[in-house]
Structure 1
Amino acid sequence: MDAKQEMEWNEAQKIQLSVDLLVAAKRQLQFLAAVDRNRHLYDGPALERAIYRYNACWLPLLAKHSESKIFEGPLVVPLDCEWVWHCHRLHPVRYKSDCEEFYGRVLDNFGVVSTVEGVCGRKTEEIWNKLYPDEPYNADLLNIFPGDISERISRLEKYTKYDLISAAKRQSPFFYQVSRPHMKNDLFIKEAVARYRGFLYLIKRNKEEGRKRFCVPTYDIDLIWHSHQLHPVSYCKDLNEALGKVLEHDDTDSDRTKGKKLDIGFSGTTKQWEVTFGTRYWKAGAMYRGNAPSPITNNPLSSNTTCKKVVSSNEYPQEISLPDRKVMEVLLEFVGAKNLPEGQEGDIFVLFSKSQPDAFFGAKRRLIILSQSRQKQVASFQCEPTGELLFELASYSSSNLSIRKSTKTIASASFSIKDYFDPVSKLHVEKWFELVPSAGTVSSKPILLRVAISFSVPVLAPYKLKMTLSPPSSKNECLSNPPVRSQHANSWTHVTDENGNRIIRLQMRDLENAKNIGNPGKKVVGVMKSGEIRTLAEFIENGWSVLENLWFFHLPHKCTNDGHLFELTGAKTLKFFAGRKLDYEAGHHGKRGNEMDFLTAIEFSIEEPYGKAVALLDLTSKHVTAKEKWMVLPAIILAFIASNVMKKEEYEGVIANANSKDWKVNGVYEENGKKVLNGMGLSPDVCSEDVGISKKSGLSSGGCGSGCGSGCGNAVESAGCGGGCGIMIKSGGCGGCGAGCGGCGGGCGSIIRSGGCGGCGAGCGGCGGGCGSIIRSGGCGGCGAGCGGCGGGCGSIIRGGGCGGCGGGCGGCGGGCGNMIN
């Protein structure tokens, strides 16, 4: 920033703003979070009803109160009306004209508080209900049916013609862009307010010089701009004084394609800012994040969802001691270079790295210099706020002996991140660094490199751990049936942090004195750092008790609409979904890969009714990522259980049917050389709803006669099915059939790699009347009532044989039986 640019910046900071925008920005973030917890207000009947209530009730009440106070104390605006009011005010010119047309003045927010601020609204409710007896203050907007709201609005004496439905749709994605933790930081907001003044100054200069330029804000500036507009009287006054007019806020264009209005506008704003003020326009933590990840569910958490025990995050037992670590976003640009050595040949660029590579940034990277290449390149990365950033000015050189280019270091410099953040007073640096020449570099003047760095406020980093199975002591151990781990006394799973430090050791063992001899159950033991051996989880009845009953891990007992695979209930409500979801979604986090390798833990609560991603389990690489410390140990235990107890083909079956309402899979473990079902402690209940087969489910099913019988769940690489069944994974096909075939007749659980069947009557190819699960069972020939594993009803069959023709029931069990092994 030269003297002229510094003068321009100082002039920009003289623009008067009559609102405390730091406080206003924090309130706006709080309000937007509340609306995001009530997403029915984004669209549909609830939004239409809110628009009616806004026009018919809120604006008249606000006008009456602003003219002559109805009562002492603040007016508390209902959340739905505030959302519509919010969207209306973000079109400041239209809001001003509407208010003046209907009420003769601009209706301000002075003396009005939001419901999210916790101020009692009893007095407002009393006045509201007296004025509008047919429209309750606290309206139920979740259970309303579409109606002709537009007709009701049109019958009002005063209502805005502004398209508030479209305005709400345009504003609904904004919260995702500004919902990151650092956005609420005082220092970040103060810098954003200063940048907002700079943004207004550019618009002022354009107006004075007759330039028509569409200025596009970064998201930190946009947050402050919105906060200013939410105070309409002050906004009109401030902008008239600064610009001579009320500045319009155009949010109608969202196309970010190169060459379109937004792209051209942002490029022009960037160039004008950097020429005028001599600093970079981009800012770490304030740039476009991309589209929001796909939602887990469109239905919020039910209000009757309760926890067995409420425990605050800092009260969780911390059996694992992990140091807190912080991470920040960094934007870096090399703007210019001076006094380069004479005769320097080759392309000049800068290699940058960290003196001490951390978990987020370790590799050396290359970036060109703007003044040399005339091309703008900005690096974006994450790192810990520790150590130093190293800059190496380098060039490519080649000799006549070889066409292969080699890198030659010319000079270098370093920037201490730790010293800069101890304490931090600003979140950006742009200055000339004097470089230290390398050996053999000769320069008559100091070599200078202009570096621009921007940081976001450091926040707590996620915890990342890796699970590794210790090698068995014998070469013959663990060689048979590799998908199911045989639990030996010397087979431990070691959990280490990113630096390879061992955190805990885990092992699966049989429960002592188990009551059910046929299914003895399991437990997970852990060896802590102190050497103490503790029981971390036990299989009881139909699930796992984790950390002495603090948590209970189980499959849902009934069909789920959201497609989750497992649940963890207790201190909090967590559901596990197949693949990477929300913040971990491919494209938003990490590289693309096989989604079947991952489980995402989603926390559901009153604060997060649509779910918050708290952990990611990679069952292939055995990596565990947890966002908060309280989730570290439960995530490790659950990843261990899932990867040790659940067979791979069964897990794939669950993934394939994750979005089905009708699924059930049993875990398998080895006991005395035999495979036993229900190792996961899953519910024996089978979904009762019948769901037809659809190709949309990614099916590759076989055929059976005329198709399916009365109804079934989903089939994956299987034949069809009859009366009603769970899922079939890679089962065989069948010939013609009556009521049901190709896996299940009357009704059964699931079939994994079962054989096929010939013609059949009531049910064939796995189970007749009703049974549990069939793993790699044989097929059957023609059959009567039920065949191919079980007749009337049975438990499960592991590697069962096939059968020929049969009557009432054949091929393993008749009236009813337990388990069949081999």
Structure 2
Amino acid sequence: MEIEQEMEWKKAQNIVINVDLVAAAKRQLEFLAAVDRNRWLYEGPALDMAIHRYNAYWLPLLAKHSVSPFFEGPLVVPLDCEWIWHCHRLNPVRYKSDCEELYGSVLDNHNVVSTVGGASKTKTEEIWKNLYLDVPFELNSAKALSDTFSEEISGLENCTKYDLLAAVKRQSPFFYQVARPHMSNEFYLEGAVARYKGFLHLIRRNRERSIKSFSVPTYEIDLMWHTHQLHPASYCKDLVEIMGKVLEHDDTDSDRTKGKKLDVGFSGTTEQWEEMYGVRYWRAGAMHKGNAPLPLRTTPYPSLDLKDYPSKENQKIMHLSELKAVEVMLEFVDVKNLSEGHKGGLSVSFSKTQPDTIFNAKRSLTILSQAGEKQVACFQCQPTGNLFFELMCHSASNLPISKPAKTLGSCSISLEDSLSPLSNLTMEKWLELLPSSNYLSSKPIYLRVALSTTVPTNAPHIFHLIRSLPFSKNSCFFPLPGRVHLAKSWTRIIDDNGKEVISLQMRDFKKSKEKNDSMLKKEVIGIIKSGGTNRVAEFTGTEWLLIDSNWSVKLPGTVNEDGYLLELIGDRRVKLFPGRKLEYEPKHCEKQRNDRDFLTAVEFSVEDPYGKALALFDFKSGTVKINEEWLLFPGLVLAFILGEILRKEGYISINSSGKNLEENKFLDKEASKCPLDVSKTIPTTVQEDGKLDVEVSQGNAITMGKGGTSGGGCSGGRGSEVRSGACGGCGANCGNVLKSGGCGGGGGCGGGCGANCGNVLKSGGCGGGCGGGCGGGCGGGCSNMIKSGGCGGGCGGGCGNKISGAPYVNASGCGGGCGGNCGNKIAGAAGVQAGACGGCGSRSGNELVDTHTHI
């Protein structure tokens, strides 16, 4: 069977395509990015005008040039016309018939270039002006919204009757799915070309066998299919030679509901592909990544004038080693040579032999041939080291307490090998297991492992702000009640490896040395690595200035009409928005985290007029995620300043460290009250000392749970509850709730914490209605929920460290009615069960829940 499958793959690779698909795909991605920067072409009057110009001006010009070229060299197509032409060509059968009906032959893109490529458009503009007089060559949004448009389009008759408006609507979301760093990598695209040929051969085989099917590509295959269609003459010629006809491209169906046409088609394509070629169809980095996040603006941001903020010399630039990550898709396909007397279910646990800062979990999947269902893990990790697999046997006992799983054997795969040019970023092979000492077999056991990866891309840097609390002279090991006078503390900023990158402290100072000038100002001092102590920032009364740097932080005092809270101004302008925006927008089960605990840094520029997310500030957990190196220094200083301001307003917004953790509750005189309502809005005014006034309100509020004593009906012991949500009614022990979003209903330890919350470390919270708290519906205990997004509303099963319940490590959350376990299951076609909680259909942990793409 394997020989036949290899022969089919060779036949597929013998398909001839008369287009350099890799180079053309890169150009297509650049063009789609340009269109996305001009989103007025997606809908409204601008789109109507673009369709009119395409029919009335571009196609007639192209037809004349095709018959008798106006000049030597390429014709340049205006951006708006190219966008409509792009969408028209992606229905190749209709485009061919329209061209033949209107102009007698297929209008090809030979000797035509895009304005995006930077080619000279002078000659094309001259021809355009001679033919169309006062019609501008390039369309802008102002012209598209003019009042004369409806009159201009009404008289046009010689045009396609194809619904171009609907075609544009269908194609507009495509760019979001392929706008990923690895998609423009030549190595990755070469694999996409090979798989596109396999896709065409699969359809050809179905036609030869009279099998009716709706074949659905993954996104990197779809990118190549689109690229091929954008060359109409070559596409028609190639497809007639491959399968005797021009292959249609049906993009009219976008309903991903289980059992619908798209879902069934993808399931069938997956099954046929894996049967024909003997390798997995799903590929890392090529699956549907959900709907595009909500935009921050409906119009592009106006151009920014940065002349008032010239660069200064001797900027404090913070350089860190580059962090790379790959996306990995993993599936366990089959196992052979098990002993005949084997009983019980099988699973395979996987981890990294040397856990890295991105992936340090141990998770498990079932084996397809044994369980009869597809389970696929998709996660990110650093592109080094080995993945380690252990074949586990689970007892079939009916006893209330099941026996621990038995390890039958283990093996590993090198990630470096999967990234080598010979692997094509995919690997599927039989691996011999090293037998466990407690399991004897007459034959070696083999496990079939399918693995695919993306190429390495830059990963964001993640930092943790840890506030050191020094002992005061008056303190003792058992501090007496009351406010303790503390010496000035430092905030250490460390990376995910635990390495300190900078320490910061805010203090008062006199701006003037004159005796009669007693006004105190604020400044920030810092120690970068092993260097000396330096002034880092100074508050001027209206803004924070970063010393010896071109950055300043403007505090406008109220939410701007555009929705942002404050600005970071320098060589670039960065605006901070309340909540998680753009790529940080919460996905499905992540919503149990209070969105008001976050700020998103967004840059608006010529390249990204609708905004690009640069960093996420999580004040509840005291973490900062930064995507760009140039933002490291100003971003971390800004995070510290905001954290200090919020802390002094009564929020515990930065991690506290030190032996005497109980001192943390005396940081603020109001902190011990543990009120029921600690919701406060973003600042409305700026005071002289740099503090921000706040008021109780709703809307775009930044809410931080206060640390405090066991107030509000907190019976029993609270343990060391640092930076958790408000403590509202903890039934027994909340344990060491460190860095928690809160253990119980309403983001606090209350709501009826039924038993023990255990050591809820770095948890988004065991609350939000988890059985009315951490007990009840959460199985009586949320023990050891490490780095979990939260045990949200109604987790009815096991929230502990059970394999069947998915070790809650790096999990997005067990939200919204998770009835049983939140295993490592992936929702999708081909009989894949939902691993999401409560039917969220997306992510639980870092696992892929989608399954199909659109055609």
- Which bin holds the TM-score, normalised by the shorter protein? 0.7 to 0.9
Residue pair 2:558, 2:565 contacting (<8 A) in 1 also: no
Partner of 2:600: 600
Partner of 2:458: 460
1:81-126, CA deviations, whole angstroms, 9 ceiling, x for partnerless residues?
1111111111111111111111111111111111110111111111
Secondary structure of 1:268's counterpart equals: helix
1:618-641, CA deviations, whole angstroms, 9 ceiling, x for partnerless residues?
112110110122212211100110
Residue pair 1:389, 1:415 contacting (<8 A) in 2 also: yes
Counterpart code for 2:368? L
Residue pair 1:293, 1:583 contacting (<8 A) in 2 also: yes
Partner of 1:363: 361
Partner of 1:254: 254
Distance 1:405 1:123 in 2: 79
Partner of 2:382: 384
Partner of 1:341: 339
- 1:362 positional shift: 1.4
Determine whether 1:678 maps to 2:688.
Answer: yes
Partner of 1:770: none
**1:509-548 equivalences in 2 (<5 Å):** 509-514=507-512, 520-548=520-548
Secondary structure of 1:40's counterpart equals: helix
Partner of 2:720: none
- 1:140 positional shift: 2.6
Counterpart code for 1:333? E
Partner of 2:436: 438
1:616-670, CA deviations, whole angstroms, 9 ceiling, x for partnerless residues?
1111211011012221221110011011124676999999767xxxxx6234xxx
Distance 1:329 1:97 in 2: 42
Query: Residues 336 and 654 (structure 1 numbering): CA distance in 2 closer, same or farther, change over 3 Å?
Result: same
Aligned length: 669
Determine whether 1:84 maps to 2:84.
Answer: yes
- 1:490 positional shift: 3.8
Distance 1:143 1:73 in 2: 29
Secondary structure of 1:452's counterpart equals: strand
Higher mean alpha-carbon deviation, 532-541 vs 35-44, is at 532-541
Residue among 317, 324, 327 paired with 1:326: 324
- 1:555 positional shift: 2.3
Query: Residues 352 and 165 (structure 1 numbering): CA distance in 2 closer, same or farther, change over 3 Å?
Result: same
Residue pair 1:293, 1:588 contacting (<8 A) in 2 also: no
Query: Residues 607 and 656 (structure 1 numbering): CA distance in 2 closer, same or farther, change over 3 Å?
Result: farther
Distance 1:5 1:398 in 2: 36
Secondary structure of 2:502's counterpart equals: strand
Query: Residues 162 and 648 (structure 1 numbering): CA distance in 2 closer, same or farther, change over 3 Å?
Result: farther
- 1:548 positional shift: 2.0
Query: Residues 208 and 547 (structure 1 numbering): CA distance in 2 closer, same or farther, change over 3 Å?
Result: farther
1:9-51, CA deviations, whole angstroms, 9 ceiling, x for partnerless residues?
1111111100000011000000000000000100001111111
Determine whether 1:354 maps to 2:352.
Answer: yes
Partner of 2:505: 507
**1:599-748 equivalences in 2 (<5 Å):** 599-646=599-646, 665-667=684-686, 677-680=687-690
Residue pair 1:310, 1:572 contacting (<8 A) in 2 also: no
**1:97-246 equivalences in 2 (<5 Å):** 97-142=97-142, 144-145=144-145, 149=149, 152-246=152-246
1:789-815, CA deviations, whole angstroms, 9 ceiling, x for partnerless residues?
xxxxxxxxxxxxxxxxxxxxxxxxxxx
Partner of 2:426: 428
- 1:150 positional shift: 6.3
Determine whether 1:71 maps to 2:71.
Answer: yes
Distance 1:456 1:487 in 2: 54
- 1:341 positional shift: 2.3
1:265-313, CA deviations, whole angstroms, 9 ceiling, x for partnerless residues?
000000000000000000000000000111111121202443545779x
Distance 1:254 1:3 in 2: 37
Normalising by structure 2, what TM-score?
0.74
- 1:360 positional shift: 1.9
Give the unaligned 5+ runs of structure 2. 476-482, 654-676, 702-855
Secondary structure of 1:281's counterpart equals: coil
Secondary structure of 2:510's counterpart equals: coil
Query: Residues 39 and 415 (structure 1 numbering): CA distance in 2 closer, same or farther, change over 3 Å?
Result: same
Counterpart code for 1:158? N
Distance 2:236 2:71 in 1: 27
Partner of 1:701: none
Counterpart code for 1:505? S
- Compare CA radii of gyration and give the structure with the larger one: 1
Query: Residues 299 and 141 (structure 1 numbering): CA distance in 2 closer, same or farther, change over 3 Å?
Result: closer
Residue pair 2:314, 2:548 contacting (<8 A) in 1 also: no
Secondary structure of 1:406's counterpart equals: coil
Residue pair 2:325, 2:382 contacting (<8 A) in 1 also: yes
Distance 1:316 1:142 in 2: 43
Residue among 409, 414, 417 paired with 2:415: 417
Distance 2:344 2:508 in 1: 68
If asked which structure has higher relative contact order (CA below 8 Å, sep 6+), I would say 2
Determine whether 1:470 maps to 2:462.
Answer: no
Query: Residues 657 and 227 (structure 1 numbering): CA distance in 2 closer, same or farther, change over 3 Å?
Result: farther
Residue pair 2:418, 2:427 contacting (<8 A) in 1 also: no
Counterpart code for 2:596? M
Counterpart code for 1:372? Q
Secondary structure of 1:405's counterpart equals: coil
Query: Residues 589 and 606 (structure 1 numbering): CA distance in 2 closer, same or farther, change over 3 Å?
Result: farther
Query: Residues 180 and 428 (structure 1 numbering): CA distance in 2 closer, same or farther, change over 3 Å?
Result: same
- 1:450 positional shift: 0.4
Distance 2:137 2:495 in 1: 53
Secondary structure of 2:286's counterpart equals: coil
Normalising by structure 1, what TM-score?
0.77
Counterpart code for 1:391? F
Please report the RMSD computed on the Cα atoms of aligned residues, expressed in angstroms. Answer: 3.1
Distance 2:571 2:35 in 1: 26
Query: Residues 591 and 344 (structure 1 numbering): CA distance in 2 closer, same or farther, change over 3 Å?
Result: farther
Query: Residues 100 and 603 (structure 1 numbering): CA distance in 2 closer, same or farther, change over 3 Å?
Result: same
Residue pair 1:388, 1:415 contacting (<8 A) in 2 also: yes
Distance 2:527 2:606 in 1: 36
**1:552-563 equivalences in 2 (<5 Å):** 552-556=552-556, 560-563=560-563
Partner of 2:19: 19
- 1:682 positional shift: 7.8
Distance 1:423 1:588 in 2: 37
1:479-502, CA deviations, whole angstroms, 9 ceiling, x for partnerless residues?
xxxxxx999764100111112222
Distance 1:617 1:445 in 2: 54
Larger fraction in strand: 1
Query: Residues 436 and 172 (structure 1 numbering): CA distance in 2 closer, same or farther, change over 3 Å?
Result: same
Residue pair 1:307, 1:571 contacting (<8 A) in 2 also: no
Distance 1:255 1:287 in 2: 16
Partner of 2:713: none
1:149-174, CA deviations, whole angstroms, 9 ceiling, x for partnerless residues?
56643522411111111111111110
Residue pair 1:185, 1:457 contacting (<8 A) in 2 also: yes
Residue pair 1:394, 1:409 contacting (<8 A) in 2 also: yes
- 1:521 positional shift: 2.2
Partner of 1:60: 60
Residue pair 1:430, 1:451 contacting (<8 A) in 2 also: yes
Residue pair 2:580, 2:598 contacting (<8 A) in 1 also: yes
Secondary structure of 2:199's counterpart equals: helix
Partner of 1:93: 93
Query: Residues 249 and 552 (structure 1 numbering): CA distance in 2 closer, same or farther, change over 3 Å?
Result: same
Partner of 2:721: none
Higher mean alpha-carbon deviation, 644-653 vs 608-617, is at 644-653
Residue pair 1:654, 1:665 contacting (<8 A) in 2 also: no
1:691-721, CA deviations, whole angstroms, 9 ceiling, x for partnerless residues?
xxx99889xxxxxxxxxxxxxxxxxxxxxxx
Query: Residues 378 and 54 (structure 1 numbering): CA distance in 2 closer, same or farther, change over 3 Å?
Result: same
Distance 2:358 2:304 in 1: 41
Counterpart code for 2:684? V
